[in-house]
Amino acid sequence: MAVLTLRARGPAAAGVVWARYVFPARWPTWSPYIGAVRTDGDRIVPGLRGTVVSRLGISAAFLVESVDEEERRWSWRVRSGPLRMRLHHAVSDDGGGAVTTLRLEGPTPVVAAYSLPARWALRRLVRR
């Protein structure tokens, strides 16, 4: 198992970045590899289940484990076939912008492969 933390800083306000996270329908607008998100609700809450579909047609089921609106933190589990990961997200103010962090936990090859597209998505997440 591997653990890797990624970070991105940008000019978007922390509240804007948080809103991009909490509404799964918005994920494809900042994550270039997500083609669609299907959920059983409109907003992330503990227990929310859904499926993320990549632009290549690869599906991953997910379950939101925790959400802290005040701290702007949330965690979820993602599964695609036998591959499983846990992702922990956080957003904070950066005096005129936002910082977002993503902690990845999973099998080393999966974390390594996912880290490059995740960095790209995080940079887009904090843009204006």
Q: Output the DSSP codes for 33-45.
A: TEEEEEESSSS--
pLDDT of residue 9: 97
CA 82/CA 87 separation, integer angstroms: 16
pLDDT of residue 20: 97
Q: Which whole number is the average pLDDT over 74-96? A: 96
Residue 16 binned pLDDT confidence (cut-offs 50, 70, 90): very high
pLDDT of residue 51: 98
Helices 14-22, 108-125: inter-axial angle, 10-degree rounding = 130
Q: Which whole number is the average pLDDT over 76-104? A: 96
CA 27/CA 64 separation, integer angstroms: 14
